[in-house]
Amino acid sequence: MSDLARLLTRAEAWLAGPGSILLMTDYDGTLTPIVDDPTDAVLAGQTREDLARLARSPRARVALISGRGLEDLRTHVALDDVVYAGCHGLEIEGPNFAFRHPDALAQQAMLWAVGDILARRAPSVSGMRVETKGLAVAVHYRHVAADEIRRVEVELARAIQGQGGRLKIFHGSKVIEVLPQVAWTKGECAQWIQERLLASLPEPALWFYLGDDWTDEHAFEVLSGRALTIRVGDTVPASKAAYRLHDVAEVHQLLALLADGVTVESRA
């Protein structure tokens, strides 16, 4: 039996009873395919509707945890009654709460200074794009020639060293992220969110956490044994996730079943 079939069977059996659902998910590469330009990563209409049905149901809670800036994430998803967590969970907003990591806020001026320096230097490297997003800076190099990528890394190192060298660097898919030096990952973020959302559900919840890259591995590890942790995309032998879905299309199948299961009309 495939992991998708196992997940569908587990969810369907759970939803046949009174139980609730807590869905925590990444955005890029999980709900939408990875694309060259992040602004083109748009939710499919049916996916948005399924998320909306989940968010509206008294039996479900939905949280999106992304490396995007919080406002960028909110703009792309454009749904009420969900929790948005941007910058890998450093900034969180829900219907009844808001959080900015205090240690990250203390380093925001340093981050923005790095972003300003890199933005001024970006024209010297063709294809390099700098994005300052709240509590993080992203340096995109998808359109940088292979023999110029080293220059991107050099410019980044110089900018960080110029601010004291106290920031963290993450390497993603054709992007380098600069983050505050704080002990906070998507794992801590997911735990913070679930502690607040579970109390608002009427019945015990079946938890899901879905993600597609190594930043989600922190959440897979923290939630191991408590949530159905799901890696989306290529097989990663060292992944801490308990399940794997092949692609975004399989994620959409799971969301559709969950949305149908918690929608009152579909259970009448």
172 and 116 belong to one structural domain? yes
Beta bridge mates, 159: none
210 and 82 belong to one structural domain? yes
Of 124, 146, 179, which residue sits at a domain end? Answer: 179
91 and 139 belong to one structural domain? no
* pLDDT exceeds 70 at position 219: yes
CA distances (Å), 163 to each of 114, 150, 154, 262, in order? 7, 20, 15, 50
Distance CA 176, CA 181 (A): 15
pLDDT of 267: 45
Determine whether 40 is an active site residue: no
Segment 165-178, tens digit of pLDDT:
789 998 887 889 99
All residues at 6 or more sequence positions from 20 whose CB lies less than 8 Å from its CB, including other chains = 59, 60, 61, 201, 202, 203, 204, 205, 206, 262
41 and 157 belong to one structural domain? no
201 and 233 belong to one structural domain? yes
* pLDDT exceeds 70 at position 268: no
pLDDT of 164: 79
pLDDT of 54: 98
| pLDDT classification of 19: cutoffs 50, 70, 90 | very high
Q: State whether residue 165 is helix, strand or coil.
A: coil
Choose between 263 and 82: higher pLDDT.
82
Domain count of the fold of the chain = 2
pLDDT of 264: 55
CA dihedral of 62, 64, 70, 76, whole degrees rounded to 10? -90
Q: What is the mean pLDDT of the chain?
A: 94
What number is the average pLDDT over the span 8-31? 97
Segment 140-158, tens digit of pLDDT:
998 999 999 999 999 999 9
Residue 249 is inside which H or E element, if any? helix 248-262
pLDDT of 234: 84
Of 131, 151, 179, which residue sits at a domain end? Answer: 179
126 and 216 belong to one structural domain? no
Segment 162-214, tens digit of pLDDT:
887 789 998 887 889 999 999 999 999 999 999 999 999 989 999 999 999 98
Give me the CATH number covering residue 130.
3.30.70
- A 10 A CB-CB count for 186 gives 27
Given a contact cutoff of 8 angstroms between Cβ atoms, the answer to whether 114 and 163 are in contact is yes
Of 179, 195, 223, which residue sits at a domain end? Answer: 179
% of the chain at pLDDT higher than 70: 98
48 and 111 belong to one structural domain? no
109 and 90 belong to one structural domain? no
Distance CA 134, CA 66 (A): 13
CA distances (Å), 32 to each of 52, 94, 146, 151, in order? 16, 22, 26, 30
82 and 205 belong to one structural domain? yes
Active-site entry in 26, 72, 212, 213: 26
41 and 147 belong to one structural domain? no
Tokens of 130: 């700098």
153 and 203 belong to one structural domain? no
pLDDT of 39: 86
Segment 227-248, tens digit of pLDDT:
999 999 987 888 999 999 999 9
pTM of the full structure: 0.93
CA dihedral of 94, 91, 37, 63, whole degrees rounded to 10? -30
All residues at 6 or more sequence positions from 160 whose CB lies less than 8 Å from its CB, including other chains = 114, 167, 169, 178
Give me the CATH number covering residue 78.
3.40.50.1000
Segment 94-119, tens digit of pLDDT:
998 999 999 999 999 999 999 999 99
7 and 96 belong to one structural domain? yes
Write out the residue range of the structural domain in which residue 137 sits: 104-179
